Amino acid sequence: MHYECEKNMNLKEPAKGRMLISEPFLYDPNFKRSVILLCEHNNEGSFGLVLNKKMDIRLEQVLPEMDMDVPVFQGGPVELNTLHFLHTVPDLFEDSTKVTEHIYWGGDFERLKFLASTKQLSHNNIRFFIGYSGWGEGQLKAEIGKNSWYITDGEINNFFLEDDEQYWRTVLEDMGGKFKVISNFPEDPSLN
């Protein structure tokens, strides 16, 4: 994995396909040590999914009609009654939205059920999320201005295989420079 940052060490502008990485002392339990993929960003707001917050439930528990024993992740604190998915198989979902070169968001739900029942999907090419992370107009920009988020571009096609508990650290380490140092900050500075 390789991540690139501008000379100022932080891409200041959020954009579709970029990642938000929470600063180490962001204590909001929804976003503590989170990596969020921005799936949409425009003048009206932003929509993203937290990539590294695995829940203690499996997809079969949420949707018994889905024949897939895969974990479910918490995409964020908004609309916890919704299910979203990211995948790397756009040829199987013609109606999905391209987010990065290799990652796509969503697709037809009936098609999803068919692909799951015929074993055409696996944990290596799809990830499910309950809820999402959302910001209204100007809200994310204000949070970035308060240094709550680092922003980076990067090739993230391997995130499906990553250990979700270490992903925050891995992304920062791969960004290099000061971010490599930041990745080692303890969660509780008093323990340092």
| Tens digit of each residue's pLDDT, the chain (192 residues) | 444 443 334 456 899 999 999 999 888 889 999 999 999 999 999 999 999 999 999 999 998 888 888 999 999 999 999 999 999 999 999 899 999 988 999 999 999 999 998 989 988 899 999 999 999 999 999 999 999 999 988 666 567 766 677 889 888 888 888 888 888 887 766 655
Whether 37 contacts 156, CB under 8 Å: yes
Q: Left if phi > 0, otherwise alpha if psi is -120 to 50, otherwise beta: which for 191?
A: alpha
**CATH entry, 3-177, from 3.90.25.10, 3.40.1740.10, 3.40.50.620, 3.10.530.10:** 3.40.1740.10
Nearest to 133 by CA among 51, 47, 52, 32: 47
What pTM was computed for the model? 0.88
Q: Convert the pLDDT of each residue in 46-97 to its tens digit.
A: 999 999 999 999 999 998 888 888 999 999 999 999 999 999 999 999 899 9
